[in-house]
Structure 1
Amino acid sequence: MEGDSVTLHTDITELQRDDLILWKFGLQKSLIARINGVAKNISVYDVLDGRFRDRLQVNNQTGDLTITNITTNHSGVYEMIISGKQKISYSVNVTVYAHLPVPVISKDCTKNSVSSNCSLLCSVLNVRDVSLSWYKGNSLLSSISVSDLNIRLSLEVDYQDKNTYSCVVSNPISNQTQHLNITQLCQTYCVFCCHVSEAVIRLVVSALVGVAAVAILVYDIRSSRVEQKNYHRHHQTVSDETFL
């Protein structure tokens, strides 16, 4: 799990003087640790993206490599090479899993449930490589496994159903469960109607604002015309008086 510390072992009980141990990571086989038995020197290295910074620890007796506060970015293949009296190498694939969120159960308002049925959706967001399952008691009803970030699974139940249902999200090392409250959830109204009403209200308000803007524009135009007429009349009167 993310946040754990993982130790990769060399299976050496004690480092010999002529032992040289290299730890490498990823497809590029980037060197991340070097243990020199002759010089009794230990060096750790980071990769370009900095994912190992301040996270690597090496046992100076055995050459074991520990990765602290591990994250999903540390998933991958680690290779260990020992050069000494004999050359030994092996690789191990490390998979780090993120902490799972609790699934969310909601009423599926996109479906028109027939008779007394209630359509439900169980969903989880921002997770990868998990399984999502519906259970009736301890019996598995349906399950789906995908690598997508967002996953959901539907279920239809009767409004009067007295059985216990639960939705479970899981990966190989952990799981999270959400229990279904049929009475509370299935008797709630869908918010779709509210969204429609809100949209209508916004449309009406926008129309009123538009009408008001047009009215103000028409008023300004009429006012300008009246002012122009008054201006011409005034100047015409002044001209007549000057002529007389």
Structure 2
Amino acid sequence: MEGDSLTLHTDTKLQIHDVIDWTYQKTLLTKINNAANKTKIHDDVLDGRFRDRLQMNNQSGDLTITNITTQHTGLYEMTISSTQKISSHRFNVTVYARLPVPVITTQNSSSLETSSCVLLCSVMNVRDVRDVSLSWYKGNRLLSIISVSDLNNNISLHLKCLNDSYSCVVNNTISNQTQHVNTDLCQTCSDCVCCCYGPEAVIRLVVSALVGVATVALLVYDIYDNAN
């Protein structure tokens, strides 16, 4: 994750005559010459992206990069040259930018029913969009998901009313950020019964009304019949 310190471990015990080179994308970063007891760090290469970030362990040859950024993504290679052989260790490093917290807003539309509520979840300023997705959840159930392909991607959720907890999540391979829906943005179920319960509630209301009309009709008929 961007901002972390990364140590590339080789699990190697260096010998007295070993010469160790660390390279990034074939560019030399550090050189250790155990025989001469010398360590050279080239942190000014590649426009200084490694300046004041490299640390070497002269006993193991491990390389540490502090305050790492997405510019440090790439292939690192350690080469050990001894009197008998040459060996190497390779590390393919991917650094992910920290994710912003998604923003949830309401969106008005004249084409929608007045009792409807449209929630819009947006994520902006995503500097590294690799493996980034934006999702809506109702409780723990995934409702929808999209891949974030630009800096202003968003997804919307069309609600009648809030009958559960909703949240919007932006995530990549190693981290996520979650924003929960503020109940002030939409009506709650107690304020919007017909919306929450859908067709079943409407059917029950219609049946109740028909029963009421039938009851009134029977009473009127009985009164008229007795009068005659």
TM-score by length of 2: 0.74
Does structure 1 retain, via aligned residues, the 8 Å contact 2:124–2:151?
Answer: yes
* Equivalent position of 1:180 in the other structure: 181
SS, match of residue 71 in structure 2: helix
Partner Cα separation in structure 2 for residue 148 and residue 94 of structure 1: 23
- Deviation (angstroms), 1:186: 3.2
Does structure 1 retain, via aligned residues, the 8 Å contact 2:2–2:68?
Answer: yes
TM-score by length of 1: 0.69
- Deviation (angstroms), 1:110: 5.6
Partner Cα separation in structure 2 for residue 3 and residue 69 of structure 1: 4
Alpha-carbon RMSD across the aligned residues, in angstroms, is: 1.7
Partner Cα separation in structure 2 for residue 123 and residue 99 of structure 1: 16
* Equivalent position of 1:7 in the other structure: 7
Partner Cα separation in structure 2 for residue 19 and residue 177 of structure 1: 49
Written as runs of structure 1 = structure 2, the 5 A alignment for 1:146-225 is 146-159=148-161, 161-182=162-183, 184-186=184-186
* Equivalent position of 1:100 in the other structure: 99
- Deviation (angstroms), 1:71: 1.3
Structure 1 segments of 4+ aligned residues over 6 angstroms from their partners: none
Partner Cα separation in structure 2 for residue 32 and residue 8 of structure 1: 13
* Equivalent position of 1:209 in the other structure: none
Q: Structure 2: give runs of 5+ residues left out of the alignment.
A: 188-228
Partner Cα separation in structure 1 for residue 32 and residue 165 of structure 2: 57
* Equivalent position of 1:81 in the other structure: 79
Q: Single out whichever of 129-138 and 81-90 deviates more from structure 2.
A: 81-90
- Deviation (angstroms), 1:86: 2.1
* Equivalent position of 2:122 in the other structure: 123
* Equivalent position of 2:209 in the other structure: none
Partner Cα separation in structure 2 for residue 86 and residue 109 of structure 1: 71
Task: Determine which of 33, 38, 41 is the counterpart of 1:41.
Answer: 38
Partner Cα separation in structure 2 for residue 143 and residue 174 of structure 1: 16
Q: Structure 1: give runs of 5+ residues left out of the alignment.
A: 188-244
Partner Cα separation in structure 2 for residue 92 and residue 38 of structure 1: 26
Note closer, same or farther for the CA distance 1:126–1:16 as it changes in structure 2 (3 Å cut): same
Q: Aligned pair count?
A: 182
Write the letter of the residue equivalent to 1:152: N
Larger-gyration structure (1/2):
1
Note closer, same or farther for the CA distance 1:147–1:63 as it changes in structure 2 (3 Å cut): farther
Partner Cα separation in structure 1 for residue 176 and residue 159 of structure 2: 24
Note closer, same or farther for the CA distance 1:150–1:93 as it changes in structure 2 (3 Å cut): farther
SS, match of residue 49 in structure 1: helix
Does structure 1 retain, via aligned residues, the 8 Å contact 2:55–2:65?
Answer: yes
**Identity percentage of aligned residues:** 62
Write the letter of the residue equivalent to 1:151: N
SS, match of residue 17 in structure 1: coil
- Deviation (angstroms), 1:147: 4.0
Does structure 1 retain, via aligned residues, the 8 Å contact 2:10–2:89?
Answer: no
